[in-house]
């Protein structure tokens, strides 16, 4: 018998068919405290990274934007004033619990119109060809099982001239920072997860998933392979995170 295809779930190898379930279980567990834990994990830096990401995204009034892995609504809230009254934001996330958190949060803030909330898998987008001016995904691509397929799907749903924008943890450009980063990732984060979310394992996975994610150059090559042109990389915080941008011609 052929051995089942496997992929990584953090540092573990698991059958490809199981990864989606395992990742879903993680985010269902952490949904209610996801932003609190992001603050603790990044010392609040994730909020600055997201603001810079949106400030430099090039989204304009009237644009239609697909925000993938956008369940908690952080990126959608920042995009909301940019698309204006004639624009539209579709928030897509594979996890229903994350979508519920984001929808409730933005509704409480009065952000209701021009927002669609849809449970979807980034590998199989239920969207028409050439239907968006921009696709954004912040801190979500590393959790996708088949990243190449997801990038091709993002390309498919973009209009000519449209752009994909990816904000994701990447590789440090300063070697001296790596021991401190490893200490924080593998010793501090699981303890914070246990203390504040009663869930050390999920935060151990989140730290491991960062290390398994493609580095800047590899992801840039993957974007080219998916068809994107004029692909660029912008490092933030010494490469702790990076913004990748590409265009559909």
Listed residue (213, 134, 204, 139) closest to 172, CA to CA: 213
Categorize the per-residue pLDDT at 213 as very low, low, confident or very high, splitting at 50, 70 and 90. Answer: very high
Asked if residue 26 has pLDDT above 90, the reply is no
| Closest to 90 (Cα-Cα) out of 61, 110, 120, 60 | 120
pLDDT over 50 at 74, yes or no: yes
Q: Is residue 11 part of a domain?
A: yes
The predicted model gives 220-239 an average pLDDT of 98
Confidence of residue 84 (pLDDT cuts 50, 70, 90): very high
Q: Could you tell me the sign of the dihedral formed by the alpha carbons of 219, 222, 227, 230, in that order?
A: positive
Beta bridge partners of 92: 68, 118
- Judged by average pLDDT, the poorest of 2-16, 76-90, 200-214 is 2-16
pLDDT band at 189 (very low <50, low <70, confident <90, very high): confident
In a domain, 50, yes or no: yes
Per-residue pLDDT of 96-123, as tens digits, reads 999 999 999 999 999 988 999 999 999 9
Tell me how many domains the chain contains: 1
129: in domain? yes
Nearest to 240 by CA among 76, 70, 79, 48: 48
Residue 182 lies in a domain: no
Name beta bridge partners: 67.
91, 136
- Per the domain annotation, does 187 fall within a domain? no
Range of lowest pLDDT (1-5, 75-79, 118-122, 224-228):
1-5
CATH value at residue 73: 3.40.50.150
Quick check: is 230 in a domain?
A: yes
Q: Per-residue confidence at 1, pLDDT binned at 50, 70, 90?
A: very low
Structural domain of 129: 6-174+202-247
Q: Does a structural domain hold residue 197?
A: no
Q: Buried (b) or exposed (e) across 138-147, using 16+ Cβ within 10 A?
A: bbbbbbbbbb
247/227 Cα distance (integer angstroms)? 9
Question: Cα(38)–Cα(55) distance, rounded to whole angstroms?
Answer: 20
- DSSP SS3 for 237: coil
Q: How far apart are CA 155 and CA 140, in angstroms?
A: 17
| For residues 210-219, average pLDDT | 95
Where in the chain does DSSP place strands (E)? 6-9, 12-15, 64-68, 88-93, 115-119, 132-138, 158-169, 229-236, 241-247
Is 0.85 topped by the overall pTM? yes
What integer pLDDT is reported at residue 216 of this predicted model?
A: 98
Whether residue 186 lies inside any domain: the answer is no
Interval 228-234 mean pLDDT: 98
184-211 mean pLDDT:
86
Q: What is residue 35's predicted lDDT score, i.e. its pLDDT? A: 78
Q: Tell me how far CA of residue 79 lies from CA of 76, 95, 117, 137, 182, in angstroms.
A: 5, 21, 14, 12, 33
pLDDT of residue 205: 85
């Amino acid at each position: 018998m052929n051995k089942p295809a496997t992929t990584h779930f953090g540092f573990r190898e698991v059958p490809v068919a199981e990864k989606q379930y395992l990742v879903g279980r993680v985010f269902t567990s952490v949904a209610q405290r996801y932003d609190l834990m992001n603050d603790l994990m990044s010392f609040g830096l994730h909020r600055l990274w997201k603001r810079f990401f949106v400030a430099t995204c090039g989204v304009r009034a009237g644009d239609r934007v697909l925000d993938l892995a956008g369940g908690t609504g952080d990126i959608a809230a920042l995009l909301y004033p940019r698309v204006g009254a004639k624009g539209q934001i579709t928030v897509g996330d594979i996890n229903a619990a994350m979508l519920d958190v984001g929808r409730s949060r933005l509704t409480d803030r009065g952000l209701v119109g021009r927002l669609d909330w849809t449970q979807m898998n980034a590998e199989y987008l239920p969207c028409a060809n050439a239907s968006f001016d921009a696709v954004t995904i912040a801190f979500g691509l590393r959790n996708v099982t088949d990243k190449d397929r997801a990038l091709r799907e993002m390309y498919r749903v973009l209009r000519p001239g449209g752009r994909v924008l990816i904000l994701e943890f990447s590789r440090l450009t300063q070697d001296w920072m790596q021991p401190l980063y490893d200490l924080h990732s593998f010793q501090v984060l699981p303890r914070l997860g246990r203390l504040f979310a009663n869930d050390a394992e999920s935060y151990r996975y989140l730290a491991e998933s960062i290390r398994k994610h493609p580095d800047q150059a590899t992801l840039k090559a993957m974007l080219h392979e998916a068809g994107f042109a004029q692909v660029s990389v912008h490092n933030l915080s010494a490469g702790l995170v990076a913004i990748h941008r590409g265009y559909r011609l």
